[in-house]
Amino acid sequence: MLTLLTYPSAFGLFSASPFCVKAAYMLKLSGHPWRRSDLLDPRKMPHRKLPVLRTPERLIADSDGIRRWLEAQGAEFDAGLSDVQKAQSRALIRMVEDHLYFQVVLDRWGNDAVWPILRDTFFTQVPALIRRPVSNAIRRSVLRGLDAQGVSRFDEGERMDRIESDLEAISAFLWQSPFLMGERPTSADLSVAPMLAAMRATPVETALTRRISGDRLLGDYIDRVDRAILLP
């Protein structure tokens, strides 16, 4: 039996991590029997991140690593797509995972109104006496990462403009068909929908949650992907 090592459910999502939701979607579509095992501390994992897939032979790090492993076992997430559609999918995946993801992290970790909720969701296993210093140190390190990535150096207007361009690119596909590449979910949906869902689910209203919640096309799409794949 395969085991998905994942962050727990939070904010009404299968996992607070869009990459863990992506991995769960891939496992469900692959048809393999699998179960989840929740972790809050990824430091012993191969990349010190989650998701990780435990197979009978070894641990597979990274949602793309999990995809490659499942494909090697016969899964086909992009069956029937042309080479150009596969190239478009790859570009959409990179856009959400290497840009929009950091906007989600900033919305969660950079917002003082969200922080107490985050602390009480993600650090429950840290003894109460040291929870604040430990979680504050981790928050500072996440914020340093966002500064190094550059995403937190834009002002709010610039930031929302950058997000808008990406959302428009996603929407251009969704005006054409119910899923990004046509009539059924393919690999691009497995990354894009969880990222949009994560943007919508931040537990305090922000410019970003308002932007996604107020968008019928994107909101219906998130729910459509979720219904099509139906996680346990």
Ligand X SMILES: N[C@@H](CCC(=O)N[C@@H](CS)C(=O)NCC(=O)O)C(=O)O
> Judged by CB under 6 A, which stretch of 43-51, 109-117, 201-209, 212-220 contacts ligand X?
43-51
Confirm or reject binding of residue 6 to ligand X (CB under 6 A).
no
Strands (E), the chain: 2-6, 34-38, 52-54, 59-61
Tell me whether residue 102 or residue 182 sits nearer to ligand X (CB atom). 102
> Residues for the chain: how many in total?
232
CB of 28 to ligand X, least distance (A): 17
- What is the sign of the dihedral through the CA atoms of 206, 207, 213 and 219? negative
Binding residue (CB under 6 A) for ligand X from 3, 40, 42, 203: 42
> Judged by CB under 6 A, which stretch of 60-68, 121-129, 179-187, 206-214 contacts ligand X?
60-68
Give the span between the Cα atoms of 87 and 175, in whole angstroms: 19
**173 and 85 in contact (C-beta within 8 Å)?**
no
Confirm or reject binding of residue 135 to ligand X (CB under 6 A).
no
Binding residue (CB under 6 A) for ligand X from 49, 54, 86, 224: 49
Residues 6+ apart with CB under 8 A from 48: 42
Task: Count other C-beta atoms under 10 Å from residue 195's C-beta.
Answer: 26
CB of 124 to ligand X, least distance (A): 16
Confirm or reject binding of residue 196 to ligand X (CB under 6 A).
no
Confirm or reject binding of residue 186 to ligand X (CB under 6 A).
no
Tell me whether residue 98 or residue 158 sits nearer to ligand X (CB atom). 98
Confirm or reject binding of residue 185 to ligand X (CB under 6 A).
no
Confirm or reject binding of residue 8 to ligand X (CB under 6 A).
no
Sheet containing 59-61: which strands, arranged edge to edge?
A: 34-38, 2-6, 52-54, 59-61
Binding residue (CB under 6 A) for ligand X from 5, 6, 14, 17: 17
| 51 upstream amide cis, omega within 30 of 0 | yes
Give the span between the Cα atoms of 56 and 219, in whole angstroms: 38
Confirm or reject binding of residue 64 to ligand X (CB under 6 A).
yes
Q: Which residues pair with 186 in a beta bridge?
A: none
> Judged by CB under 6 A, which stretch of 25-33, 41-49, 170-178, 202-210 contacts ligand X?
41-49
Interacting residues toward ligand X by CB under 6 A = 17, 19, 42, 48-51, 62-64
